[in-house]
Structure 1
Amino acid sequence: MKSLLRTALVAATAASGLTACATVTRGSNDAWVVNSEPPGASVTTTNGHFCASTPCAIKMPRKSEFSAEIKKPGFKTATVSVTHKTAGSGAAGVAGNVLVGGVIGLGVDMVTGASQDLVPNPVTVKLEPEE
């Protein structure tokens, strides 16, 4: 009886360690990468993030939705809309939660956005000269 109880306890401990698989393996933030041609443009997002000069990477929550303006003197401003979608590896983490019975982990992954990827990422913009 003690052996059966010990086995059940070990299995429960292992299963609880696998909850929130995507949160543990991917994290809730991602590096959103911006490139421009020509380089050296500034990037400002509607959610308050920025970088002074492309190429650059901005740490963003995976479940963000925002617009970004890419500007460089002498060139027209480019605007990019960014959203999120369930990633292949994020979906695997969600599936791991379902298979192991980690309803709590599934909820954590959805709330934190760990199962999401920013799209498009990376962003490459060709700036047009002003006339």
Structure 2
Amino acid sequence: MRGTTENVTFASSPAGATARVSTGMVCEATPCTFELPRDSQFSVVFSKPGYQQQQIFVGTHVPVGGGAALAGNILAGGIIGAAVDSSNGATLEHTPNPVFATLEPEAPQPAPVVERKRRRQQAVADSAQ
């Protein structure tokens, strides 16, 4: 029996990112794993200081083995057992799983115009000496 929940793993490169799941769960530092209902679809936002945030949608699907399990359930448990497993999500799996984010570094911010002007003035003064 597959059950109505599944472990979903969240990981990132670099490791140590925060992963906020739209269901309300928060992983303070990747990698981490949460047990989630098989019939839930959600999004997760990965964030880490110095890197751009990344959002990933996690859906569900019936795997090849899930269809076979459903057919076996019909034979062993009858139509009622198959209907229960179909209605409670026991035949579903999350995809992607694991959920992996490659975080891109934030672009460096250009120095403020005033700072560049001050540096230019200092360079001119230094060269005059």
Q: TM-score, normalised by structure 1?
A: 0.76
Match of 1:109 in 2: 85
Q: Which residue of 1 aligns with 2:9?
A: 33
Aligned residues: 107
- Distance (Å, rounded) in 1 between the aligned partners of 2:64 and 2:26: 28
1:23-70 residue CA offsets vs partner (Å, 9 max, x unmatched)? xx2111111111100000011111212211101111111111111101
Give 1 or 2 for the bigger CA radius of gyration.
2
Q: Is 2:105 the counterpart of 1:129?
A: yes
Q: Per the alignment, in what secondary structure is the counterpart of residue 84 of structure 1? A: strand
SS in 2 for 1:73: coil
RMSD of the alignment, in Å? 1.2
Equivalent position of 1:91 in the other structure: 67
Letter in 2 for 1:109: D
The structure 1 segments of at least 4 consecutive aligned residues displaced by more than 6 Å after TM superposition are none
Distance in 1 of aligned mates of 2:2 and 2:43:
24
1:69 corresponds in structure 2 to: 45
In the alignment, which residue of structure 1 is the partner of 2:29?
53
Report the Cα offset of residue 105 of structure 1.
0.6
Q: How many Å separate the matches in 2 of 1:27 and 1:67?
A: 22
Of 65, 75, 78 in structure 1, the residue corresponding to residue 54 of structure 2 is: 78
Normalised by the length of structure 2, the TM-score is 0.78
1:97 shift after superposition: 2.1
**What fraction of aligned residue pairs are identical, expressed as a percent?**
39
Task: Tell me the CA shift for residue 88 of structure 1.
Answer: 2.5
Partner-residue secondary structure (3-state), 1:103: helix
Deviation at 1:101, TM superposition (A): 5.9
Distance in 2 (alpha carbons) for counterparts of 1:101 and 1:38: 46
Structure 1: 5+ residue runs without aligned partners? 1-24
Q: Comparing both chains, which one has the higher relative contact order based on Cα–Cα distances under 8 Å and sequence gaps of 6 or more?
A: 1
